[in-house]
Structure 1
Amino acid sequence: MIPMPASTRIGAHQVHIGIAEAGKMLAIKGRHKEALERYREALRLAQSAQAPDVFGRHYLQCVLESLEKLGDFVRVVDLATQAADAVGQRDTPFHRRDRASLLERAAVARLRLDERDAARDGFAEALALAGREGQPLSAMLLDWINRGLQITPVRIAEAQRKHGYWAVRAETVDPVRASRALTIPDSGSEEPLRGR
């Protein structure tokens, strides 16, 4: 791969960040399939711009959140597990937190698929990497599993909200950056993302 000049990379970073923000705005509006398209494009552009790993990891979390909101728990498990395995044995604080977060997301999806034993193992592994303070949702759900409590989707959703599980929230999105970076075609017209 031919290295990109620094000034070009900065411009490219603004583009992938804007596309990801547009995806987040779509996700907030419940348009997760369209959001997934934006996140995938942001990932592709971030990789081609040689963006730091943190961008790709954040965009992957956004993809996993939209898949989870769509109820595609099998794909969440597959992607999160593959990504956690790819992080592998890199033993920096960033990589441990990243792996713990991915293992937690896979475990939540397994719990939603009623795979309690696999979920228990995933939560325990996440906690071993990040500790109870680092993964409070994992600690809570593991405790519920170990106590044999009934864990309904409503209880899971309440716990997710309580522990700030979702990265894509209205207060975390920058609509100016999204609308500045691109327009999103809607029914054949090019209209800025604002107002939808």
Structure 2
Amino acid sequence: MAHWGIAESGKLALLAGDYPQALRHFREAIRLAVATRAPEVFFRHYTQCVLEALELAGDLPEIITFCRDADAHYGDLSDGNSLLAKDHGAILERLGVALLQAGELAEAQAVLARAGARAGPGILPLAERLSDWLRRGFAVPPVRLRSLQRELGYFVIRKDNVDRRLARPLPPDMAAPDLRAVLAGR
């Protein structure tokens, strides 16, 4: 499972604040996971890693575009599966946070409310809290948002859940695959 070691290296890069390297590793991990037909859980996790790196790097437009596309995809799936509902809710939560950071407060509130409803009560505490605050007209400055994200376990990449022993860095001259092309090939 080379993709796992590459993703772990990406996590280390993200924790060091090197978002371009983190993205390069996560995108390659996704490409390898798809190419080797790894279980879907790897693809979902690496996608969350990409979105987290994009958010921390401040690339809100790419997050918003990806999450809107994913929302449309999930909207076509309605099988009552609780894992699917949680994944869809997590994508909506990420979209809502990006919209909040982009200053689209009304849309952020609506999307965050949808996220909480889709995942179920208590599953996405950040989405629920932010939706409530925005509904009540409270401001959410960036420092408060970041603090709340950490407090409520929003970030999936943390020092305590990265295994340095598994990390396998990519060669420096290897270009990162285009994520849209990888996803289109799924």
Decide: shared fold, TM above 0.5.
yes
Q: Say whether 1:170 aligns with 2:150.
A: no
Q: After superposition, give the CA deviation of every residue in 1:138-157 in whole Å (9 maximum; x if it has no partner).
A: 11101110111111001111
Q: Which residue of 1 aligns with 2:117?
A: 128
Provide the secondary structure at the position in 2 that maps to 1:149.
Answer: coil
| Contact 1:160-1:166 within 8 A present in 2 as well | yes
Offset, 1:185: 4.4
Evaluate the alpha carbon distance shift between residue 90 and residue 51 of structure 1 in structure 2; reply closer, same or farther with a 3 A threshold: farther
Task: Tell me which amino acid in the other structure corresponds to 2:63.
Answer: V
The structural deviation recorded for 1:183 is 4.0
Instruction: Say whether 1:79 aligns with 2:66.
Output: yes
Instruction: After superposing the two structures, state which structure 1 stretch, 75-84 or 119-128, moved more.
Output: 75-84
Cα 1:105–1:124, aligned 2, differ >3 Å: closer, same or farther? Answer: same
Q: Which residue of 1 aligns with 2:133?
A: 144
Shift of 1:127: 1.3
Q: Point out which structure has higher relative CO (alpha carbons under 8 A, 6+ apart).
A: 2
**Deviation digits for residues 149-168 of structure 1 (CA, Å, limit 9, x no counterpart):** 11100111111011100001
Alignment partner of 1:78: what SS? Answer: helix
Q: Which runs of structure 2 are paired with 1:88-103 in the superposition (5 Å)?
A: 88=75, 89-91=77-79, 92-103=81-92
Q: Is the 2:33–2:42 Cα contact (8 Å) retained in structure 1?
A: yes
Tell me if structure 2 keeps the 8 A contact 1:132–1:138: no
Q: Which of 16, 22, 28 pairs up with 2:3?
A: 16
Bigger radius of gyration among the two:
1
Hey, what's the Cα distance between the residues in 2 that align with 1:185 and 1:41? 11
Query: Of residues 87, 93, 96 in structure 2, which corresponds to 1:107?
Result: 96
**Following TM superposition, by how much is the alpha carbon of 1:186 offset from its aligned partner in structure 2, in angstroms?**
5.8
What corresponds to 2:34 in structure 1?
47
Q: Distance in 1 between matches of 2:169 and 2:112?
A: 40
TM-score normalised by structure 2 residue count:
0.87
Which residues of structure 2 form unaligned runs of 5+? 174-186
How many residues are paired up?
A: 171
- Provide structure 1 residue ranges, at least 5 long, that are not aligned to the other structure: 1-13, 188-196
Question: Percent identical across equivalent pairs?
Answer: 40
Distance, in Å, in 2 between the alignment partners of 1:90 and 1:15 is 33
Superposition TM-score, scaled by structure 1 size: 0.83
Aligned equivalent of 1:65, options 52, 55, 64:
52
Q: Which amino acid aligns with 1:131?
A: G
Deviations 1:27-84 (A, max 9, x none): 0000111110111100011001111211111101000000000111111111122123
- The RMSD of aligned alpha carbons is 1.4
Aligned to 2:22: 35
Q: Which residue of 1 aligns with 2:143?
A: 154
Q: What is the one-letter code of the residue matched to 2:28?
A: E
2:26 is matched by which residue type in structure 1?
Y
Q: Structure 1: how far apart are the matches of 2:42 and 2:93?
A: 19
CA contact (8 A) 1:19 1:42 kept: yes
